[in-house]
Amino acid sequence: MGFLSRCGRILLDFVIITTAVLLFPGIPPDAEFDNTRFPASPELSGALAPNERLFAMERFLDGGIWGPESTAEWEGAIYTGGTGGGIVRLTKTGAEVVARLAPHCHDPLDVPSCGRPLGMRFDQHGHLFVADAYLGLHRVNVTTGAVERLVPAGLSPSDSDKPLRFFNDVAPARDGMLYFTTSSSVADLHHGFVELGVKGTGRVLKYDPKLNTTIELLSGVNFANGLALDAEQKSLLVSETGMFRLRRYWLAGSRQGQSEVVVDNLPGFPDNIRERRQGGFYVGLCGLRYQNQLQEMLRPWPLASKLLMRVVSLALMPVKLLESVYPNPLTQTILYKSISLEALHNLSPRQQEHGMVLELDARGAVVGSLHSQDLSCISQLSEHAGALYAGSPFYPFLGKVGLPKQATGKTARIRKVGGEGLDVTVG
């Protein structure tokens, strides 16, 4: 009886503590958890068939930058950004920092203070616009290094009472309007995995530089990520990373203000969307579903997801308190690197470094794919000066390959960390 009594007491304590964690108000994340069941990931065949189109990748800035998520080109020069808030211009011998989004950054580990540039694009006048995950939306003069913060983090749009956080990507329009995404209203970049487990809180917004106003166009997007204007600038394509799909938001025409799913059940986590010069778009996939199925395992069980995330939040509370009183490298490493999207990616049980980029036609249909053995997360693929540049938030280099050739039907093998190889078609 003594043993059974102890087991019963342990079970009762567990039920009481679990119930308290689930029901006690004020424990982050303050979000709804829904029951989402995803269909099986599509087979990698047809337009998704593995190939060598991004093999033999040259590594730019290898070890000289961490996490160059996005690239943009102006007058033949290529720009990127990484941890620490620096905007970098590539040169023949390496790179040079042309601007800093937070000029008083003293410790790059302190990313909320120093900044973390994500999506960036130039407009037709040569202004570089940068969405910084922690600091907000910026305009950068790459000649003088001047930085102007247009939409700061913490600001609420004119038509919403929810402050903006976790800025992700930006697309300047020809009429001067700036369209941008925020990935979550309940989590910042380092704990972005929270957004992947809750009912969507990401947004698509428009900033009017003449009126200095920001309005919300679309809400409830599960991890709103990359975006791109169509050729006529009548609609926006938006990556909804947490739902493995792309959505379209109409800016003009009979469907203005409406949104629709363009392509669903993608084989990975869609990230930045960038234009192809021959028409259509590249969509980077930051991880493939067969490599990391944690989200698909948890989303059908909202109570389990809520319990897990609240336990993590409670465990981090003392670390956050110590960091607020005494900022130091140890607490910053725990908060911003050890328990983060990057850590989740690195712990995924993937069998090989296998990354993928989707090719879309102008309507948004998947017409092809490019595969890599160097990057398992490709946040963006862009064409610059006759080459393709691949960025990733989780690697210390930019990848570069020549513009891909058509498939030849030969076979090769993707390098695995261990075990047998994966047969692929040579492109």
| Burial of residue 349 (number of CB atoms within 10 Å: 0-12, 13-18, 19+) | exposed
pLDDT tier at 417, thresholds 50, 70, 90:
very low
Segment among 128-142, 207-221, 247-261, 308-322 with least mean pLDDT: 308-322
| CATH number, position 31 | 2.120.10.30
pLDDT band of 1, cuts 50, 70, 90: low
Domain range for 397 is 27-425
**Number of domains observed in the structure of the chain:** 1
Cβ atoms of 66 and 83 within 8 Å: the answer is: yes
Measured between alpha carbons, how far is 389 from 371 in angstroms, rounded to an integer? Answer: 13
pTM of the model: 0.89
Query: Is 229 within a domain?
Result: yes
Residue 177 inside a domain? The answer is yes
18 assigned to some structural domain? no
State pLDDT tens for residues 55-103: 989 998 888 889 999 999 999 999 999 988 999 999 777 789 999 998 7
Residue 135 in domain: yes
Amino acid identity, position 228: A
Confidence of residue 206 (pLDDT cuts 50, 70, 90): very high
Confirm whether 165 is domain-assigned: yes
- pLDDT tens digits along 109-162: 788 889 999 999 999 999 999 999 999 999 999 999 999 999 999 999 988 889
Q: What is the CA radius of gyration of the chain?
A: 22
Tell me whether residue 10 is in a domain. no
State pLDDT tens for residues 219-234: 999 999 999 999 999 9
> How many residues belong to the chain?
427
Using one digit for the tens of pLDDT, what is the confidence trace for 315-351? 888 988 898 888 888 888 888 877 788 887 877 655 5
* Cβ 244 vs Cβ 265: under 8 Å: yes
Torsion of CA 5, 11, 16, 22, to 10 degrees: 180
Percentage of the chain with pLDDT > 70? 88
pLDDT for 189 beyond 50 = yes
HEC profile for 80-92? EECCCCEEEEECC
Q: Within 10 A of 242 (CB to CB), how many other CB atoms are there? A: 28
CA 315, 66, 107: angle at the middle one, nearest 5? 65
223: alpha, beta or left, given left = phi > 0 and alpha = psi -120 to 50?
A: left
For residue 8, is it within any domain?
no
Residue whose C-alpha is closest to residue 111's, from 214, 192, 26, 202: 192
Residue 418: pLDDT band by 50, 70, 90 thresholds? very low
At 341-399, the pLDDT tens digits run: 888 787 765 556 899 999 999 999 999 999 999 999 999 999 998 899 999 999 999 99
| Prior bond of 29 cis (ω within 30°) | yes
The answer to whether residue 180 sits within a structural domain is: yes
Q: Residue 426: its pLDDT value, please?
A: 39
